[in-house]
Chains A and B, each alone.
Chain A
Amino acid sequence: MSERIRLVVDGKPAELDADPAMPLLYALRADLALNNPKFGCGLAQCGACTVHVDGRPTRSCVTPVGAVKGKKITTLAGLGTPERPHPLQTAYIGEQVPQCGYCLSGWVMTAAALLRDTPKPSDTQIRQALAGLKCRCGTHMAILRAVKRAAGAKA
């Protein structure tokens, strides 16, 4: 039941042999050794595993890898780099947002899509867009500051 599956991950073509029912998260973490999407729940309840699939924030823990064949997957590490950071990454560093940082993929990848579609979101729009994400360390105040800062930086 294993199949050859091709993906484009953070701009690089990649391929693996896998059960197409296996969640994308396991393909990224175990097969492709990409660490930044995290296993938080496996139930689409927390966001720690969020990646962009063709630009859409997607919970990779419940997305069968067979359903994203040939698609463009972007992880937190592909969103920006120290040399070419995404404005959210710059803002996160400026605001010193993360504590443990285990939740980051959810917040940053979801907020990146928000800012792309709504460059100047209100506080309410930010809170709505980020609903359903978890951060056990309680960094929410800094997250709000960083998203607002990044929105300003984009202007």
Chain B
Amino acid sequence: MTPAPLSRREFLKAGALVVSFMMPGTVGGALERVGATTGGKPPLTPDELDSWIAVLPDGRVTAFFGKMDMGQGVDVAIAQIVADELDVAFDRVVVVMGDTAFTCNQGGASGSTGVQRGGVTLRYAAAEARRILLDRAAEKLSVEVAQLTVRDGVVSVAGDPRRRASYGELINGQHFHHKLEWNKQYGNPLLAKGLAIPKTASEYRIVGTSIPQRIVADKVFGALPYVTDVKVDGMLHARVVRPPTAGCAPVTVDESSIGGIPAARVIREKDLVAVVAEREWDAVRAAATLKVTWAQPCTPFPPMETLHEHIRQAKPIGGGVPVNKGDVEAALKTAHRLIEAEYEWPLQSHASMGPACAVADVRADQATLWTGSQKPHYARNGVAKLVGLPPEKVRAVWVPGPGSYGRNDAGDAALDAALLSKLTGRPVRVQYMRHEGTGWDPKGPAAVYRARAGLDAQGTVVAYDFFGKGFTRQDVATTESDPKDTLAGQLTGYAPKPTVIFQVPAEAYDFANKRCGWECIAPLLDRGSPLRTGHLRDPLGPETHFASESFIDEVAHAAGVDPVAFRLRHVSDPRHVAVITAAAEKAGWTARPYPNPRRGTGHVMTGRGVSYTERNGTIVAVVAEVEVDRRSGRVWAKRFTVAHDCGLIINPKGLELTIEGNVVQAVSRTLFEEVAFDRDRVLSVDWASYPILEIQDAPERIDIVLINRPDVASSGAGEPSTRTVPAAIANAIFDATGVRLRRVPITPERVRAALARA
């Protein structure tokens, strides 16, 4: 017999998905089970051990992590660290993250510091919890602490295992009520520690093993609720309506134009226009139908093909010369030979897999935000300011979203939702459309680099001069803690204030005279710009190191030295040497003439290239092998060998997968990605107008050599290999073709044109 059709409500109940844990009021219910109850718990401040670790009566452990995992398994690494310090089985540890009600502000996902910084306080806290539990056990069992051993959360007397006490018994349903020493900082620099000295690497059993991510199964069975799946009772669906041309304010909004759409209405606050409706499809239709007249276009952008010329000519708004050793100008004058080159990198979009979504429920005296933003604690502050509530009355709950890779559109959606909820008096769900996700996210900055090197008669580098100029990486800040850094804020009267911040190459080349400097230029449009810049994975890293590592290759070539040997000749730090050597060895690199004399006369030319960089303590070297099709100009980045040293490795398999993702995404940015625009609008608004790598262009193989340094504190892995890839590809193209491609993306058209010029 066929069962009767289910109503929506029954379908909801019968469906595999349980989203109710995200509903207000029931959040506590789910979290209670992992020890997040507030009853009797001291206030959520970083100097309380209870803010970091809870031990439940049944022996399970909850770690409260003030950063998040964005899909690479940082939470698994944190659980490994906590399990090892506490001597409990990995499976007993639950990590709660991204909820401002239960976690301290450790900076959110930021700069690959999940383990590097976020893990440090969790390690200290877990060690301190173990110390306290052991003290209690010693008292209870009437022995010295030194006589105790711990196995999976059970403390026993060495040599007399019947005398024992479990962590659950020792904590006895209580909180620790124990103070830590806190450095009074929030965000990435937050550090809190107790008296306990954490274990040494030789004592780790769980750290260093490839424990898989539990959450992967939920994703694969379609059971993981994302931020796009949050539903709140009484929620309205909203769509924003952005101006067709950048910087244009709405003049008139014809509400009657959506009169035929059920319960759809316009919400306008100053220059922000949105529509809301009870049903999502009605909101979609209303946004597409609404008639708005906008102010005359103001042509804020230069013609796209002159963007880099604009950067060269524009008046700098700030700059610096952080590296200045010897006398570069004088040394260049003595040089026997001068090598010069310029490199260009375009504007790029986060182009997240899904456009951003946020849900906000703003009431008179409190508010809740569900967001995919990487920095929920800061988003809470921004919402509080925008809607006029104290931050402690706003709760932000991070829910996984499409991978953000920096300050993507999620931060804008969060404040849009909050403002619309305040204006409507209802919970509001804002879902951007694709054209907003790609067309209006903050962009990775475009830049121009000029490099010069002087060689003496023996081919020794006597001077090295590297200069970058471009847009700052922070027209909008890396967090949403101030409405001025969001579209909602900028459209309702908050004046933006860019931070001037750029970078110089991170490497260890030792040249007698070396200078590295930079300058930033002003944004093209002062507010509400679809070309405003913001952090995109490894901000400015691929830009800068595409240029610097391409140039080092050019210098090596001019000096007649093998590019691996050249790098090794100028680097002395043993870790850097080891990484370059490991990549070369694994790739089977042997010195030979350059470009490849055996690249072939057929349509497909092959070559190899090397590149090496550092990022906040993590050292990466990459060897790329490419095929270049002479006729079509297509480049296939066919094979990569990556050597990676980020200190102590917590989870090798997770690290390898993270590196693979970096490499593939960096291939995409190098070969395909460029934001197109005309004088007054962004033209890259979907996947057709902003293509990224597809699977036919994925490499054939990526080999990874992980260099584990148990004696060196872990540094980040979420970004460093991104910056190493672009130059490795460009250098391999030179090897294959004898032609230098100095502008990204290296599209087939540009390759064909370069080959034709050669």
Contact surface of A with B, Cβ cutoff 8 Å: 6, 9, 12-16, 18-19, 22-23, 26, 29-36, 38-43, 45-46, 48, 75-77, 80-82, 85, 89, 92-93, 96-105, 108, 126-128, 130-144
Say whether A102 contacts B354, CB under 8 Å. Answer: yes
Say whether A130 contacts B686, CB under 8 Å. Answer: no
Q: Tell me if B280 counts as interface (CB < 8 A to partner A).
A: yes
Say whether A12 contacts B3, CB under 8 Å. Answer: yes
Say whether B17 contacts A141, CB under 8 Å. Answer: no
Contacts of A93 in B (CB 8 A): 212, 216-217, 220
Say whether A142 contacts B15, CB under 8 Å. Answer: no
Distance in Å from the Cβ of B178 to the closest Cβ of chain A? 37
Distance in Å from the Cβ of A92 to the closest Cβ of chain B? 5
Say whether A140 contacts B401, CB under 8 Å. Answer: no
Name which of B226-234, B327-335, B442-450, B522-530 contacts chain A.
Answer: B226-234
Say whether A98 contacts B6, CB under 8 Å. Answer: no
Q: Tell me if B758 counts as interface (CB < 8 A to partner A).
A: no
Chain B residues 6 to 42 lying within 8 A of chain A, measured CB to CB, are 6-8, 11-12, 14-17, 19
Q: Is the interface of A mostly helix, strand, loop or mixed?
A: loop
With A81-B221, A140-B693 given, name 15 new contacts (CB 8 A): A33-B17, A35-B228, A40-B353, A42-B433, A76-B221, A77-B221, A92-B220, A93-B217, A93-B220, A96-B213, A99-B71, A100-B402, A101-B220, A128-B696, A138-B693
Contacts of B212 in A (CB 8 A): 93, 96
In the bound complex, how far is the Cα of B218 from the Cα of A93, in angstroms? 10
Say whether B403 contacts A99, CB under 8 Å. Answer: yes
Say whether A33 contacts B15, CB under 8 Å. Answer: yes
Q: Tell me if B657 counts as interface (CB < 8 A to partner A).
A: yes
In the bound complex, how far is the Cα of B272 from the Cα of A93, in angstroms? 43
Contacts of A38 in B (CB 8 A): 226, 228, 353-354, 402
Given contacts A48-B353, A77-B17, A136-B351, contact A102 B216 (CB under 8 A): no
Contact check: which of A81, A136, A142, A143 meets B352 at CB < 8 Å? A136
Contact check: which of A13, A32, A101, A132 meets B219 at CB < 8 Å? A101
Contacts of B405 in A (CB 8 A): 136
Distance in Å from the Cβ of A129 to the closest Cβ of chain B? 9
- A-B residue pairs in contact (CB < 8 Å), sample of 15: A16-B8, A35-B222, A41-B434, A41-B686, A75-B222, A76-B221, A92-B216, A100-B71, A100-B353, A100-B402, A127-B698, A134-B353, A136-B353, A137-B353, A137-B661
Say whether B228 contacts A39, CB under 8 Å. Answer: yes
Query: Which residue of chain B has its CB nearest to the CB of A98?
Result: B219
In the bound complex, how far is the Cα of B8 from the Cα of A134, in angstroms? 31
The 5 closest A-B pairs by CB, nearest first: A36-B222, A138-B664, A99-B71, A101-B219, A77-B222
Q: Tell me if B371 counts as interface (CB < 8 A to partner A).
A: no
In the bound complex, how far is the Cα of B216 from the Cα of A140, in angstroms? 16
Query: Which residue of chain A has its CB nearest to the CB of B694?
Result: A131
Q: Tell me if B72 counts as interface (CB < 8 A to partner A).
A: yes
B: number of interface residues (CB 8 Å) = 73
- Most chain B CB within 10 A, of A98, A102, A103, is at A102
In the bound complex, how far is the Cα of B352 from the Cα of A55, in angstroms? 29
Chain B residues 52 to 84 lying within 8 A of chain A, measured CB to CB, are 70-73
Contact check: which of B4, B16, B653, B660 meets A139 at CB < 8 Å? B660
Q: Tell me if B662 counts as interface (CB < 8 A to partner A).
A: yes
Q: Tell me if B589 counts as interface (CB < 8 A to partner A).
A: no
Say whether B692 contacts A136, CB under 8 Å. Answer: yes
Contacts of B226 in A (CB 8 A): 35, 38, 102
Query: Which residue of chain B has its CB nearest to the CB of A139?
Result: B661
Given contacts A41-B687, A96-B657, contact A137 B225 (CB under 8 A): no
Contacts of B693 in A (CB 8 A): 138, 140
Distance in Å from the Cβ of B175 to the closest Cβ of chain A? 34
Say whether A45 contacts B15, CB under 8 Å. Answer: no
Say whether A132 contacts B694, CB under 8 Å. Answer: yes
Query: Which residue of chain A has its CB nearest to the CB of B438?
Result: A41
In the bound complex, how far is the Cα of B692 from the Cα of A133, in angstroms? 10
Say whether A99 contacts B72, CB under 8 Å. Answer: yes
Contacts of A42 in B (CB 8 A): 433-434
In the bound complex, how far is the Cα of B661 from the Cα of A106, in angstroms? 18
In the bound complex, how far is the Cα of B418 from the Cα of A103, in angstroms? 27
Contacts of B280 in A (CB 8 A): 26, 29-30
Given contacts A30-B281, A138-B660, contact A35 B229 (CB under 8 A): yes
Query: Which residue of chain A has its CB nearest to the CB of B372?
Result: A100
Contacts of A34 in B (CB 8 A): 15, 17
Contacts of A9 in B (CB 8 A): 11
Contact check: which of B224, B657, B662, B687 meets A142 at CB < 8 Å? B657
Contact check: which of A45, A80, A98, A138 meets B665 at CB < 8 Å? A138
Q: Tell me if B668 counts as interface (CB < 8 A to partner A).
A: yes
In the bound complex, how far is the Cα of B665 from the Cα of A103, in angstroms? 14
Contacts of A108 in B (CB 8 A): 220
- Most chain A CB within 10 A, of B16, B222, B699, is at B222
Contacts of B146 in A (CB 8 A): none
Say whether B403 contacts A43, CB under 8 Å. Answer: no
In the bound complex, how far is the Cα of B224 from the Cα of A15, in angstroms? 24
Query: Which residue of chain B has its CB nearest to the CB of A89?
Result: B220
Distance in Å from the Cβ of A111 to the closest Cβ of chain B? 11
Say whether A143 contacts B695, CB under 8 Å. Answer: yes
Q: Tell me if B279 counts as interface (CB < 8 A to partner A).
A: yes
Contacts of B222 in A (CB 8 A): 35-36, 75-77, 104-105
Given contacts A77-B222, A135-B353, contact A99 B3 (CB under 8 A): no
In the bound complex, how far is the Cα of B585 from the Cα of A1, in angstroms? 68
Given contacts A40-B354, A96-B212, A144-B695, contact A137 B665 (CB under 8 A): yes
Say whether B354 contacts A134, CB under 8 Å. Answer: no
Say whether A138 contacts B661, CB under 8 Å. Answer: yes
Say whether A140 contacts B403, CB under 8 Å. Answer: no
Say whether A134 contacts B694, CB under 8 Å. Answer: yes
Q: Tell me if B307 counts as interface (CB < 8 A to partner A).
A: no
In the bound complex, how far is the Cα of B237 from the Cα of A29, in angstroms? 13
Q: Tell me if B688 counts as interface (CB < 8 A to partner A).
A: yes
Q: Tell me if B400 counts as interface (CB < 8 A to partner A).
A: yes
In the bound complex, how far is the Cα of B400 from the Cα of A18, in angstroms? 29
Contacts of B228 in A (CB 8 A): 35, 38-39
In the bound complex, how far is the Cα of B686 from the Cα of A43, in angstroms? 8
Contacts of B170 in A (CB 8 A): none
Contacts of A22 in B (CB 8 A): 281
